[in-house]
Amino acid sequence: MIRVAIIPLGGEATRLRPLTVETSKAMIRFLNRPLIELAILNLAQQGLEEVYFGVRGYHNYRDVYDYFREGEWFETKYGRKIKIKYMPRVETRGNAEAVLATMEYYNIGEPVLVVQGDNIFKLDVQDMYKFHASRRAFMTIALEEEVGELSEFGVAALDEDMRILKFVEKPRRREEAPSNLVNTGIYILSKEFRDFFKGDVGKKLYAEGMMDFGKHVIPAIIESGLPVYGYLSRDYWFDVGTPQRYLEAVRFLLKTLTPYELDAEEVAPSIYVQRVEHAHDEREWYSIKQRVRHGRVKVEGPVLIGKYVQIGDETYIRESVIDNYVIIGERCSIEESVVMDRSIIGRRAVIRRSIIGRHVYIGDDAVIEDSVVADNVVIGDSAALRRVKVWPHKKVESGVKLEQFMLI
């Protein structure tokens, strides 16, 4: 049984900007909670006992520690015990170095599971560990079949026994890819992983700062002749590395997760409303429930509505997520979008295929389509944004029309 997981967090997550300008990518709101919380809950449910964050940078550490602390609240909220610890302040040069530094600091002498901070997945990690142990593998990589773009992933070629013969990181052309099996960034490492960096190959990688798993470490381990195996995932996996992938993952999981996993009640077919935590506040939850059921608010699922939300009459919501403390005016239309917590949406506003960050104000009659609006932004009345990215704390004046633009 595998007990320990390490989650390296150190990149700047530039592909997710502007959502990650001031926020760790692991802490981006996702289904009304931090993105990484789903992964930790998944691991706790499968018997993992310890999670180590290999954090680099002030924003990453502050955001993650201030929310998760040592993980003691998981037992109260989810009925699962898990300990959470943090890598000390080390200026790591890649995710493999974050894992190595964490293992060295805590003297971890057992196999570990490695999970990336921007991954959403369902995977039987204990079955993966059984496979790893049965092959006596030095490293096992969870692989996913990808039928679309391969240039953003590591791609593996396997023999009949699932041993990885070749690994190409982000092939520039499809013909350079040895297969369509891509690296999910989920690994099981043997306890000997630390020893690899005491040998000639590992020492050289470390000295030259070549400490990224996909670019440097995995190819070097394979070339050294150590047994690296691929474990084919049969469940879902999303690299939530871009706004488009974020929305794709949201739409998929809204259709896939149970009410328990969404921490909500299904008040109508595929309409989920999250319950408040205190009995004396239940009237707010009951009000939303009744307004949906009686048609004062038209909702087409799947939709997730958070706690203490207010929605005006004749508003239409389809395939979207509305986070906690959001206020939505009358006759709005919100489709295939996410509105994060404590935002205000003015009357008759239209939001389609977009992500609205935290603490955002959107004025009356505004239109936002195919856009990403970061935290603490103000968008004036009758403004129109199409294919626009707005950085945190910016203001779009009333009546302004922007198309294919970045407001930095």
Q: What is the pLDDT of residues 164-186, one digit of tens each?
A: 988 888 887 777 777 888 889 99
Range of the domain at 90: 4-244
Are the C-beta atoms of residues 303 and 286 closer than 8 Å to each other? no
Same domain (yes/no): 285, 382: yes
The structure's pTM equals 0.88
Residue 381 pLDDT > 80 = yes
Does residue 70 lie in a domain region? yes
Same domain (yes/no): 56, 111: yes
Q: What's the domain count of the chain?
A: 2
Are the C-beta atoms of residues 48 and 40 closer than 8 Å to each other? no
Over residues 228-261, the pLDDT tens digits come to 999 998 888 888 888 999 999 999 999 999 898 8
The domain that contains 392 carries what CATH number?
2.160.10.10
Same domain (yes/no): 331, 201: no
Same domain (yes/no): 63, 170: yes
* Structure confidence at residue 390 as a pLDDT band (50, 70, 90): very high
Does residue 112 lie in a domain region? yes
Residue 27 pLDDT > 80 = yes
- ω into 302 cis (within 30 of 0): yes
Does residue 252 lie in a domain region? no
Over residues 36-69, the pLDDT tens digits come to 998 998 899 898 999 999 888 887 888 888 898 8
Same domain (yes/no): 40, 186: yes
Q: Whole-angstrom Cα distance, residue 355 to residue 182?
A: 27
Of 213, 244, 275, the domain-final residue: 244
For the chain, the first-to-last Cα distance in angstroms comes to 48
Provide the residue count of the chain: 408
* Structure confidence at residue 5 as a pLDDT band (50, 70, 90): very high
Counting beta carbons within 10 angstroms of the beta carbon of residue 71, is it exposed (0 to 12), middle (13 to 18) or buried (19 or more)? Answer: middle
Which long-range contacts link 245-250 to residues 24+ away (Cβ below 8 Å)? Answer: 246/16, 246/19, 246/28, 246/30, 246/338, 246/355, 247/336, 247/337, 247/338, 247/353, 247/355, 249/30, 249/120, 250/30, 250/31, 250/321, 250/338
Over residues 125-165, the pLDDT tens digits come to 999 999 999 999 999 999 988 756 777 788 888 888 999 98
Same domain (yes/no): 217, 351: no
Q: Whole-angstrom Cα distance, residue 222 to residue 224?
A: 5
Are the C-beta atoms of residues 120 and 30 closer than 8 Å to each other? yes
The domain that contains 137 carries what CATH number?
3.90.550.10
Of 186, 220, 244, the domain-final residue: 244
Same domain (yes/no): 96, 233: yes
Q: Whole-angstrom Cα distance, residue 324 to residue 326?
A: 6
